[in-house]
Amino acid sequence: MHLDVNPLHEPEGYLRYVRRKGLFLIGAGFGLVLMFLVALAVGSSFIPLPEVVAAFLSPSGEHISTIVLHIRLPRVLSAVIAGAGLAAAGVVMQSVLRNPLSSPYTLGVSHAAAFGAAFAITALGAGSISHLISDSMVVRNPYLITICAFLGAMLATAGLLLVAKYRSSRPEVMILVGVALAALFTAGTTFLQYFSSADQIAAIVFWTFGDVGRATWRDLLLMMVIVLPSLGYFFFTRWDYNAIDAGDETAHTLGVNVERVRTLAMLLSSLITAVVVSFLGIIGFIGLVSPHMMRRVVGCDQRYLLPASCIAGAILLLGADMVARLIIAPAVLPVGVLTAFLGAPLFLYLLIGRSAV
Amino acid sequence: MILKVAGLSFRYNGLKILEEVEFRVNRHEILAILGPNGVGKTTLLRCINTLLRPQAGSILLDDQDLLSLGRDEVARLLAYVPQRGETGPILAFDAILLGRRPHIGWDVRREDIQKVQAIIDQLHIGHLALRPINSMSGGELQKVLIARALVQEPGLLLLDEPTSSLDLKNQIEILAFLRMIVRAHSLTAILTMHDINQAIRFADRFLFLKEGMVYAAGTREIITPELIREVYGLPVTIAEVNGMPVVVPGLDHLQATETSLSAE
């Protein structure tokens, strides 16, 4: 069959609609850049925006330049990478599991990754607490921690996929499985803590509060190496998620290898979660909230939803971290506490809203 | 395209669903797969669309074995309209555009958009284009899903009970429309159906399944009261209205059923 097209008949209405979405994405991108600069400016000492930009353009060894490039930049970049990564993981999980309540945090994947990382720190000695700064932990072997976090995340993911495949992938079932997995792995982490020294316990506890401020340049690099190509892959396969959203059978007849796309998407989402959790701790709800916010604005089409959610995730985490830095200044609140305050009500709203239908 | 199915057998967990199914459909033709519930009509359709892999047999489309082709190749040859698609708040235009996926490389081209517009024009569904599909009626949604299948530019079109959730007017509209498309684009179409009378009206060939096997296949002439009784276990008479054969359930049987129901 061949369809003859009439090049003179352009679908004006649709093209306008597409342009509007494109403009929104560009606008959101600018918003992120602005937020990025503001986040560099705000802190225990305020640095005016022009000076922030100047520090970038001509890095000198001066005081301001040092604060911007060496103290604040890794923190702000971490927030951007982690926010975008967690949001993408949330969008993709929600699509391939066909479940609007999915996210690394609500399905227990984050907790499993945290258990894996805690295991690496305590049992395998991959990290220890620093006595110079009492609330931070020195990571001796980030690769080992990431690998263990990933293995933990994979365990949870395998459990989720098995239940979805052989039992039911109904949203309620998946969330309950997520609750069970989170409880199980939290118990595992508690078990590890019981056999740890007081110092180690302190380290693990502090470390499980999500905090974007603890990543070093080396950690940041590893996060980027894993998160950015994963985002690229997700975006490359955006049509496959659209097809899966239309039903497995439809997707198959559109040439999509549903099983493979689903497994790979879950695998990469777990990997993103694992690397973020191992360097920053548990940051909940960003992966759940960002896709839902953006779905209201750009709709369900993954061509727009994926990039929009990534931007929203980055902005949200940047914003939350700024508030966390200022709310009880000069002390800094771990951002994970704030995202939980932000996300938990929304999660409840979604749950209750669904059951009312 | 000419579809030839030969020796097709499908088992699920050791249970025979389809056995030695054999039939052929020519270009320009609509084949209706008929038979009682649970006889394997949808399974047969899913074997042809390669979602299910039959244990034996071949499915030749213009002498190419579909079972040996890759997913994308199959997706460019045939399109499938499921009985019920998932419906999110997606615009009809985007839902139809999804049908271009087998042809899309990195992103949609202008041509893809124009093809969607072309099919929307052909189906006269311009008024639906910018509406979300989850707000549509059964008939509207069915048209959008058929448009998605057609924009795939397939040679073979498969439809699983395309009229099952539609009222009479919409049923006729969709089927007449399908026949028009099949003729205009030299397509081959296979659909599963429950309504024999609609099938008689719109299909060119008929395939009756019984216990997973082909009980009878051919053109309208094969449809006799005996055949229907054997396949559906229901005595019928075939009347003629305006030159069209019409299958009417036997009155004796109806009365017998009613009596046995009222006796309980």
Q: How confident is the model at residue A357 (pLDDT cuts 50, 70, 90)?
A: very low
Q: Give the model's pLDDT for residue A142.
A: 67
Distance from CA of B137 to the nearest CA of A (A): 17
Say yes or no: B177 and B245 in one domain: no
Cβ within 8 Å, pair A3-B115: yes
- Containing B56, the helix (H) or strand (E) segment is strand B56-61
| Nearest CB neighbour to B72, from listed A1, A250, A255 | A255
Q: How confident is the model at residue A332 (pLDDT cuts 50, 70, 90)?
A: confident
Q: Residues B156-185: pLDDT tens digits? A: 999 999 988 888 998 998 899 899 989 988
A82-121: buried (b, 16+ CB within 10 Å) or exposed (e) per residue? Answer: bbbbbbbbbbbbbbbbbbbbbbbbbbbbbbbbbbbbbbbb
Q: In Å, how far are A58, B69, B157, B178, B215 from B3, measured between CA atoms?
A: 70, 15, 11, 18, 19
Whether B162 contacts B191, CB under 8 Å: yes
Q: How many contacts does A have with B, using Cβ atoms within 8 A?
A: 116
Domains and CATH numbers, chain A: 21-356 (1.10.3470.10)
Whether A154 contacts A108, CB under 8 Å: no
Task: Tally the domains of chain B.
Answer: 2
Q: Are strands B3-12 and B56-61 parallel, antiparallel or unpaired?
A: antiparallel
Q: In 3-state terms, what secondary structure has residue B245?
A: strand
> What residue type is A8 in one-letter code?
L
Q: Give the model's pLDDT for residue A342.
A: 79
Helices (H), chain A: 12-41, 49-57, 63-66, 73-96, 109-122, 142-166, 171-194, 198-208, 217-236, 238-245, 248-253, 258-280, 286-298, 302-326, 335-356
As a whole number, mean pLDDT of residues B41-64 equals 92
Say yes or no: B85 and B63 in one domain: yes
Pull the structure tokens for residue A178: 């997520």
Say yes or no: B125 and B8 in one domain: yes
Say yes or no: B34 and B104 in one domain: yes
Say yes or no: B127 and B252 in one domain: no
Q: Residues A12-57: pLDDT tens digits? A: 899 999 999 999 999 999 999 999 999 998 877 788 888 888 887 8
Whether the pLDDT of residue A138 is over 50: the answer is yes
Residues of B in contact with A254 (CB under 8 A): 75, 98-99, 101-102, 152
Say yes or no: B228 and B202 in one domain: yes
Kindly state the percentage of chain B with pLDDT values over 70: 97
**Residue (of A44, A25, A28) closest to A36 by Cα position:** A28
**Residue (of A212, A192, A201, A257) closest to A81 by Cα position:** A212
Q: Give the model's pLDDT for residue A127.
A: 64
Say yes or no: B250 and B215 in one domain: no
As a whole number, mean pLDDT of residues A135-157 equals 76
Q: Which residue of chain A has the CA closest to B106? A: A236
Residues of B in contact with A17 (CB under 8 A): 91, 93, 130
Q: Give the model's pLDDT for residue A355.
A: 47
Write the CATH number for B45.
3.40.50.300
Longest dimension (CA), chain B: 67
Q: What does pLDDT average to over chain A?
A: 84
Say yes or no: B34 and B80 in one domain: yes
Say yes or no: B207 and B250 in one domain: no
Whether the pLDDT of residue A325 is over 70: the answer is yes
Radius of gyration of chain B (CA): 20
Say yes or no: B48 and B14 in one domain: yes
Sign of CA dihedral A108, A114, A115, A120: positive
**Residue (of B40, B38, B37) closest to B21 by Cα position:** B40
Say yes or no: B238 and B226 in one domain: no
Whether the pLDDT of residue A239 is over 90: the answer is yes
Residues 98-127 of B with CB under 8 A from A: 98-99, 101-102, 104, 106, 111, 113-121
Q: Residues B185-244: pLDDT tens digits? A: 899 999 999 999 999 999 999 999 999 899 999 999 999 999 999 999 888 888 888 888
* Parent domain of B133: 3-233
Residues of B in contact with A9 (CB under 8 A): 114, 117-118, 121
Say yes or no: B61 and B180 in one domain: yes
